[in-house]
Amino acid sequence: MNDTELISQLINGNKNAFTFLVSRYQKLVVHIAGRIIQRQEELEDVCQEVFIKVYQNLDSYRNECKLSTWIATIAYNTSINFLRRINKWETVNPDDSTVLKNLAGFNAESYETSDLHRYIREQIELLPLHYRTVLTLFHLEEFSYQEIEQITGMPEGTVKSYLFRAKAILKEKLKFVVDANSLKLVKEISNEK
Amino acid sequence: MRNEELSDILETSLKAEPEYRLSANFAQKVTLSVVKREQWRSDLSDYLYLTASLIGLLVAVSGIYYIADKELLIRIWVFLKSNLLPVTFLFITANFIFLADRVLLRLLFSKWKQIN
């Protein structure tokens, strides 16, 4: 079933079509909301709020953009509003002690690639809100720059700049971690703590 | 490790799904929640329509009586005015019972089912 058929089924009041829509787009919503709010315990409520808004505003959906872009916009705005409600707006998590601890057990001579993947995933969570949002939308959900502009309201240039900077930060951290000398330094600092 | 290898690792990691999860029956739960909300709205609008229809009917009957038997209507009006407090109480009670029957009890049962 394509999105147009799905929407017409929903407007006709078919509840199974709504279950189908939720199943189809729940990963998209959970990725966006999860990366923005970073709270597993409240994630389900936020995602539920997103889909209820989707249902209530179906009449206002125009085929000008893809359904996924429209749902992603609702997910982004709902998650940002959630952060505003709990007064966590624009806070950057500066506490990377957990990641440092994980690094202390890291062996530069015999690490696995999966360790590096895990390390990068942890580092993405420590990035500022807008950086991790555009990374998720561009790399994970494969939205175009124009679509990200539509979802977040950020100009295309800003989106590109955030993407570039976020990747540069992550690459620097990755370089640092595979360098044995740097790692030794981290272990020393970690032991001092 | 070479720069290209690092770039490859980075690209792969960026495409990896974060570890946030929803419950297995999330889609069913959301649908149920939407159905309940719709039910509650529909029950409330039914109640409002029925109340408005009853009041309209009462006004229409009063209008007919006003033309047919003005005296009787005036007597009813005097009776209502002299018993304003009990009549108001009766009207509010009847209206509340109607609201409970059409809306509140259904909502209560649905919540109770959800808890059990």
Domain boundary among A85, A108, A125: A85
Burial class (CB in 10 A: 0-12, 13-18, 19+), A164: exposed
* pLDDT bracket for residue A26 (50, 70, 90): very high
A141 close contact with B: CB closer than 8 A: no
Q: Is residue A92 part of a domain?
A: no
Question: Residue A188: its pLDDT value, please?
Answer: 65
Asked if pLDDT for residue A93 goes beyond 60, the answer is no
CA distance B28 to chain A (A): 6
A70 lies in the same domain as A26: yes
Residue extents of the structural domains in chain B: 28-115
CB-CB under 8 Å, A30 with B20: yes
* pLDDT bracket for residue A65 (50, 70, 90): confident
Strand positions, DSSP E, A44-169: none
| Number of domains comprising chain A | 2
Asked if pLDDT for residue A94 goes beyond 50, the answer is no
Question: Residue A110: its pLDDT value, please?
Answer: 54
Alpha-carbon distance of B92 to A60, in angstroms, equals 39
Domain range for A14 is 3-85
A16 lies in the same domain as A76: yes
Within 10 A of B110 (CB to CB), how many other CB atoms are there? 15
Q: Is residue A61 part of a domain?
A: yes
User: What value does the mean pLDDT take over residues A73-83?
Assistant: 95
Model ipTM?
Answer: 0.74
Q: Identify all chain B residues contacting A18, using CB atoms and an 8 Å cutoff.
A: 30-31, 34
pTM of the model: 0.75
Nearest CA in chain B to A33: B20
A113 lies in the same domain as A161: yes
Question: Residue A14: its pLDDT value, please?
Answer: 85
Question: Residue A180: its pLDDT value, please?
Answer: 62
Question: Residue A190: its pLDDT value, please?
Answer: 59
CA dihedral over A55, A57, A60, A61, signed as positive or negative: negative
Q: Is residue A107 part of a domain?
A: yes
Asked if pLDDT for residue A184 goes beyond 70, the answer is no
A106 lies in the same domain as A174: yes
A132 lies in the same domain as A169: yes
A33 lies in the same domain as A117: no
A66 lies in the same domain as A11: yes
A183 lies in the same domain as A103: yes
Best to test chain B binding among A9, A15, A37 (most B CBs inside 10 Å): A15
CB-CB under 8 Å, A40 with B22: no
Q: Is residue A101 part of a domain?
A: yes
Listed in sequence order, the DSSP H helices in A86-155 are 97-104, 113-126, 129-135, 145-152
